[in-house]
């Protein structure tokens, strides 16, 4: 039987092409600008993974700064589109952030835009990203804001583990997908903070913030549980 996240990313398989059209036809959004502003230095010689890279629109940004870029996404369609759009990037593969095939301590940087919140079990995802990052490696992620997701959630139980339905902006025809709801404490809790140090945090400036971003640095040592 398919596991829930397999059924989930089939949604992106079905809608990947429309998603690409919608994103490329609108100007770079505030969230991407805020995310990119976190890179204030060169990435020369750094091995960087974009987790949930979609059709690959951020890969050239990292490569231009000197990174050796890898991209993963559990949607076959998204990875196909990424390969078509960016044939110069050989390291693109179909896999989710919560279970990858990379060796321990492989990456200097892991980035993820609007993808990590799709992982049904964030603890599993953080454990995996911690495993594949080098000590002092950076995890920079941007996800849907839990408040925004809460307002989409029909039963209005902040702590309830619900799937919520979300209509992706600007897609024609409109595309609604179901995704797991998370709370702030799913992102920032003892498990995460004993493995990572929080270095930056920013929320979307919309009336109801659509996103938040966090920059975490892997601690050199932590107490294992
Ligand atoms: C809204 S798109 C964002 C894509 C890209 N990062 C961007 O900013 O355009 C969400 C992406 O998350 C991917 N995704 C879904 N579940 C995932 C998981 N468990 N791990 C990594 N990516 C996932 C989807 O397949 C989809 O490509």
What's the domain range around 61? 4-145+183-217
Atom nearest to 52 CA in ligand 1:
22
142 lines ligand 1 (CB under 6 A): no
| Residue nearest ligand 1's atom 23 by CA | 52
| Average confidence (pLDDT) over 13-38 | 75
Which residue carries 């995996």 as its tokens? 128
Whether 173 is in a domain gets the answer no
User: Which has the higher per-residue pLDDT, 86 or 170?
Assistant: 86
pLDDT at 23: 63
C-alpha 51 – ligand 1 centre gap (Å):
7
Whether 193 is in a domain gets the answer yes
User: Would you say residue 36 has pLDDT above 70?
Assistant: yes
Q: E-assigned strands of the chain? A: 47-51, 68-73, 92-94, 107-113, 133-144, 163-167, 176-180, 196-203, 211-218
- Looking at the structure of the chain, the number of domains it has is 1
The two structure tokens encoding residue 55:
């059709």
75 lines ligand 1 (CB under 6 A): yes
pTM tops 0.85, yes or no:
yes
Rounded Cα–Cα distance for residues 194 and 221 (Å)? 9
Whether 74 is in a domain gets the answer yes
Whether 26 is in a domain gets the answer yes
Whether 223 is in a domain gets the answer no
110 lines ligand 1 (CB under 6 A): no
Residue 33 maps to which CATH number? 3.40.50.150
| Average confidence (pLDDT) over 111-123 | 95
Atom nearest to 16 CA in ligand 1:
27
pLDDT at 21: 67
98 lines ligand 1 (CB under 6 A): yes
């Amino acid at each position: 039987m398919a596991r829930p996240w397999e059924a989930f990313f089939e949604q992106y398989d079905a809608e990947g092409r429309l998603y690409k059209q919608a994103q490329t036809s609108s100007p770079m959004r505030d969230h991407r600008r805020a995310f990119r502003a976190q890179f204030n230095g060169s990435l020369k010689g750094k091995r960087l993974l974009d987790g949930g890279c979609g059709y690959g629109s951020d890969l050239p940004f990292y490569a231009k700064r000197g990174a050796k870029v890898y991209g993963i996404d559990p949607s076959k369609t998204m990875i196909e589109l990424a390969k078509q759009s960016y044939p110069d990037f050989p390291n693109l593969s179909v896999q989710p952030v919560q279970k990858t095939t990379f060796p321990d301590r492989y990456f200097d940087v892991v980035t993820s835009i609007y993808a990590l919140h799709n992982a049904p079990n964030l603890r599993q995802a953080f454990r995996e990203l911690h495993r594949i990052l080098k000590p002092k490696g950076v995890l920079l992620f941007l996800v849907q804001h839990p408040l925004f997701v809460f307002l989409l959630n029909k039963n209005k139980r902040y702590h309830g583990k619900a799937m919520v339905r979300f209509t992706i902006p600007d897609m024609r025809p409109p595309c609604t997908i179901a995704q797991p709801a998370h709370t702030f404490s799913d992102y920032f809790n003892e498990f995460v903070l004993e493995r990572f140090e929080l270095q930056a945090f920013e929320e979307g400036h919309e009336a109801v913030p659509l996103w938040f971003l966090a920059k975490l640095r892997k601690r050199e040592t932590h107490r294992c549980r």
